[in-house]
Amino acid sequence: MLMEERALPIVIVGHVDHGKSTLIGRLLYDTGCLPPDKFSEIQHSSETLGRNLEFAFVMDCFEEERSRGITIDTTQTFFKTPKRRYVIIDAPGHKEFLKNMITGSSQAEAALLIIDAFEGIRDQTRRHAYILGMLGFKQVCVLLNKIDLVHYSQDKFLSLKGEVIDFLNQLNVHPTFILPISAIHGDNVAKPSEKISWFDGPTVLQALDTFEPLKIEEKPLRFPIQDIYTIDGKKTIVGRIEAGELKKGQSVYLLPEKKKVEVKEIKKFLEKDVSIAHFEESIGIRLKGRHRVKRGQILTADLSSWISDQIKANIFWLDPTGYRVGEALLFRCVTQEVPCRIDKINRKFDPASMELTEEDASSIKGAEVADVLLQLDEKVAVDPFNEIPEMGRFVLEKEGRPAAGGIIL
């Protein structure tokens, strides 16, 4: 059993109709992770609509999705290889579902970018690749799908591969692999294919198995305070360890004040004498002495976090109504929630055209990506996204609804 290993979350992105859902159906089918009753339901549903067997129906469960042949929302599903379990996050390719694509991608640690070998790079390919770069993805595998439609041609593969590498490198995306596949026929997905015997690289499954989860447990402690409970008459601070580990008796800093405090006790339900708690654990703690504590403060092992009321970041705007400089927002990073506004838009991009549309702009439209300076009402503690992800990414709310996501580089 593979109980000890965390399932690696991967996202599959790419232009509409380039074969994302078909690939997922194929992965599930070829790894034996598709129950036969589900298989016959898909068969039935495909026949009802007068189509050949549609692997895409594994992921596309909404009635509209099946009849329109598109994916509306992100879906999570699981499959396993002999090495580990995977959670695949499917992401819609249509422009109007960009928000869902980012939601899906933000939970993944590795990405598969699928490109139709016949059609090549399209608008959504650009947009999605840009977002992968913005989200700081380091583990990316590009799949040149529908290689059957270009007659399994090595020349076609190599010329598109060159084009894809040039295009991605401009976006600071450096794919680990670029593979020729046919998801519909199963070529080079779970098994190598004789039809592309000229290709000596890995299959999709072999490529995925080389990816590794991040090692956040080895970073210095970050423990954001989530809430304060009174348990058996005693003040108990609850929260989740977002990096490193926490020991009983440890002396830690309380940010943003940088006050030194000592951890008197670690509390878990039905466990006695807990001496250590690790990354990702949701625990309770008690501090030695009396201290004013509140949600949003962060306990840390060192003072390497950046403490400021001004933050430079990359943001992607999700809300269709857009933003004008000066409008009120709420900054949310771990349990920190602080009113803020965008003070300056240094640059902004339209991911589809890849064009820098304005310098020193005064507004951001829906689906645009921008490099901005945030001015907050109070100081917050943050870290670079590539050091401690949870402390380096945030959400901006406008009128109580999530309007943008951001990354601190």
Please say whether the beta carbons of 173 and 129 come within 8 A: yes
Give the nearer residue to other proteins in terms of CB position, either 178 or 408.
408
Are 301 and 255 a contacting pair, CB within 8 Å? no
Asked if residue 49 binds other proteins (CB under 8 A), the reply is no
Which residues does residue 110 pair with via DSSP β-bridges, in sequence order? 10
Is residue 81 a contact point for other proteins (CB under 8 A)? Answer: no
Task: Give the number of other Cβ atoms within 10 Å of residue 90's Cβ.
Answer: 26
The stretch among 2-10, 14-22, 124-132, 194-202 that binds other proteins (CB under 8 A) is 2-10
Neighbours of 298 (CB within 10 A): 27
Among 103-111, 161-169, 301-309, 344-352, the segment contacting other proteins (CB under 8 A): 103-111
- Minimum Å distance from CB 48 to other proteins? 9
**Between 64 and 377, CB nearer to other proteins:** 64
Q: Which of 200, 269, 275, 355 binds other proteins (CB under 8 A)?
A: 269
Stretch in the footprint of other proteins (CB under 8 A) among 143-151, 201-209, 340-348, 386-394: 386-394
Binding-site string for other proteins from residue 344 to residue 383, where x marks contact by CB under 8 A and - marks none: ----------------------------------------
> What sign results for the dihedral spanned by CA atoms 362, 366, 372, 378?
positive
20-28, 148-156, 253-261, 400-408 -> range binding other proteins (CB under 8 A)? 400-408
Smallest distance, other proteins to C-beta of residue 336, A: 10
C-alpha dihedral sign at 305, 214, 24, 187: positive
Nearer to other proteins, 74 or 193 (CB): 74
Verify binding: residue 203, other proteins, rule CB under 8 A: no
| Among 156, 219, 267, 348, contact with other proteins (rule: CB under 8 A) | 267
State in angstroms the smallest separation of the CB of 280 from other proteins.
5
Which of 43, 47, 49, 78 is the binder for other proteins (CB under 8 A)? 78
Of 15-23, 247-255, 263-271, 357-365: span binding other proteins (CB under 8 A): 263-271
Q: Tell me the three state secondary structure of residue 306.
A: strand
> Which of 175, 192, 193, 198 is CA-nearest to residue 128?
175
Whole-angstrom distance, CA of residue 148 vs CA of residue 332: 47
Q: Is the Cα dihedral 160, 163, 169, 173 positive or negative?
A: negative
Q: Cα 308 from chain centroid?
A: 26
**Closer by beta carbon to other proteins, 324 or else 401:** 401
- To the nearest 10 degrees (0 to 180), the angle between helices 123-134 and 98-105 is 40
Instruction: Measure CA 17 to chain center.
Output: 22
Rounded Cα gap, residues 385 and 383, in angstroms: 6
DSSP run (H or E) holding 336: strand 336-350
226 binds other proteins (CB under 8 A): yes
- For residue 255, what are the β-bridge partners? 298
Is 259 a residue that touches other proteins (CB under 8 A)? no
Could you give the CA distance from residue 245 to residue 227 in angstroms, rounded to a whole number? 19
Q: Which residues are at the interface with other proteins (CB under 8 A)? A: 2-7, 35-38, 41, 44-45, 59, 61-64, 72-78, 99-100, 102-103, 106-107, 217, 226-227, 229, 231, 236, 238, 240, 267-270, 278-282, 284, 295, 318, 332, 389-390, 393-395, 397, 399-402, 405
